[in-house]
Amino acid sequence: MKSLFIVKLTPLYITTLPNKSPSYIHTKTRKVYAKAKGFNGTNIEKQKVMIKEEKKKAKEEEADDKIPDVVMERMISRILFNVGVPLITGLGLLQMFSVIKEQNLWQIPRWLPFLTTFITFGASTLGIVYGTLSTSWDEENKGSIIGFEEAKKNWVKMWEEDES
């Protein structure tokens, strides 16, 4: 402790209050220079032209990747069906197991509701992918009801586009 005699202890209370008079307010303004380095008029015009060209390219790429509305509606209806049926089946089976257990009709093993939930909810999750792939991506062709042929074609297309 004697070696730290140089260090002063600061008081734990406020000794003086700061003066709040207007003399402490700094009202110094800075000048803005119109032609700062890198911001002359020619560069701005070049940048505007470049931005317009980039926007035009982005719109062209967007137009190529846009899914037609007819195909999108078919996709949504297939996804809703392929997700909804397994989901409702799983919830119905859980309700049925609950009623059977409450009525003491059958002593259901614990693993059975877990297994049915796993299978039906998993099938519901896979329904999103299958609903998308089983839709015909051609506007004029509706495709089949089940969609196995379309799923095979679209699976190959999807991986070809991903590799390129």
pLDDT digits (tens, 9 = 90+) for 60-82: 766 666 788 899 999 999 999 99
**Phi, psi dihedral angles at 139 (to 5 degrees):** -65, -40
Report pLDDT for 141. 87
Model confidence, pTM: 0.57
d(Cα 152, Cα 134) in Å, to the nearest integer? Answer: 8
Rg of the chain (C-alpha set): 35
Residue 120 maps to a domain: yes
**Number of residues written out for the chain:** 164
pLDDT > 60? residue 34: no
**In-domain check, residue 49:** no
How far apart, in whole angstroms, are the C-alpha atoms of residue 68 and residue 148?
21
pLDDT at residue 160 in the model: 86
Residue 22 lies in a domain: no
Residue 90 domain-assigned (yes or no)? yes
- Is position 19 within any domain? no
Give the domain extent around 155. Answer: 68-163
Q: Is residue 149 in a domain?
A: yes
Total domains, the chain = 1
